[in-house]
Amino acid sequence: MSDAQSYLRATSAEYSRWCGAMEVHRRLLSLNPEYAENRALIENAAFTYEATEQVSARQSIVDIPVVVHVVHNTPEQNVGDAQIHSQIAVLNQDFRASNPDVGKVPATWQDLVADARIQFHLARTDPLGRPTDGITRTQTSSPDWDTDDLVKFSLSGGHDAWPADVYLNLWVCRLRRGLLGYAQFPGGAASTDGVVVTYTAFGTTGTATAPFDGGRTAVHEIGHWLNLRHIWGDDDEGCSGSDFVSDTPNQGGPNLGSPSFPHVTCNNGPDGDMFMNYMDYTDDAAMFMFTKGQAARMDAALDHARMPLTRQAVAV
């Protein structure tokens, strides 16, 4: 058994997914009044987009430049180029609804499957205009990282973000036990903007380890970066939460593993939970769709909070 497999086995007896995006969100709300103000404006725009059903308003494709910051304590954590390219390939399939498993969406929801018209490429120029492969590599003395954003700063042994109005910053490192990834919602500081994924749940080759070896952790976290919430509304296992998307059924908490359809909670029968949605907590092989309502929220983010990045995308 490899170090990566041993690490993942130790993280959870049930190999369950856990995301720290809401932990970061709540911390920023409590500490940063400007973030809270920004979030209110961003949510107003998102509500407007979905309420007016601007799901198909944007026909053009947004191509987002990505820089992958590999922060490694051991040689195994220094994931290879092929693993990084495999993750970009998954992003480009999943955000365009061209993933091979999209046909597994139950018939009742097939009309809701969305092509978000977003694609990704590794950056071709760095912040100084020099050619780059879109990958940085930093050796660190830190054995693992938490949701405190220290991996995003060279002074704490990580790597500084590239300008967030030009690049999607994606850090790959060893996260603390049980944590697969986290993201910063739109509206936060540029210095910490981006997505963090643990090295055992990144891409589809190398250290990627089942059941999180399909590249879907980064898909989930980039969903947060584009202002998507967890599909159950983050109210623990109650039925009062909301992801602010009208075409995703209300459900009683996250789904783990690979559920069987239908799985009914919160009186949402007969179809039950949309557990195959990328914003649930199921295994990589069990999630394979965004909805049109979610695509509308992503459009709102790209047209407002993320607009500077989309304007720069062609050049880098």
On whether the CB atoms of residues 123 and 132 are closer than 8 A, the answer is yes
The residues annotated as belonging to the active site are 221
DSSP string, 149-176: SGGG-GGGTS-PPPPTTT-EEEEEE-BS
On whether the CB atoms of residues 136 and 79 are closer than 8 A, the answer is no
| Whole-number Å distance between alpha carbons of 261 and 194 | 33
| Whole-number Å distance between alpha carbons of 59 and 218 | 24
156 Cβ contact partners less than 8 Å away, ≥ 6 residues apart: 142, 150
| Whole-number Å distance between alpha carbons of 296 and 150 | 32
Q: For residue 265, what are its two tokens?
A: 């909670």
Nearest in space to 298 (alpha carbons), one of 83, 96, 4 = 96
121, containing H or E segment: strand 118-122
CA dihedral in degrees (127, 72, 212, 284; nearest 10)?
0
Long-range pairs for 7-12 at CB < 8 Å and ≥24 separation? 7/174, 7/200, 8/200, 8/201, 8/209, 8/212, 10/177, 11/177, 11/178, 11/179, 12/178
On whether the CB atoms of residues 247 and 296 are closer than 8 A, the answer is no
On whether the CB atoms of residues 302 and 62 are closer than 8 A, the answer is yes
| Whole-number Å distance between alpha carbons of 204 and 89 | 10
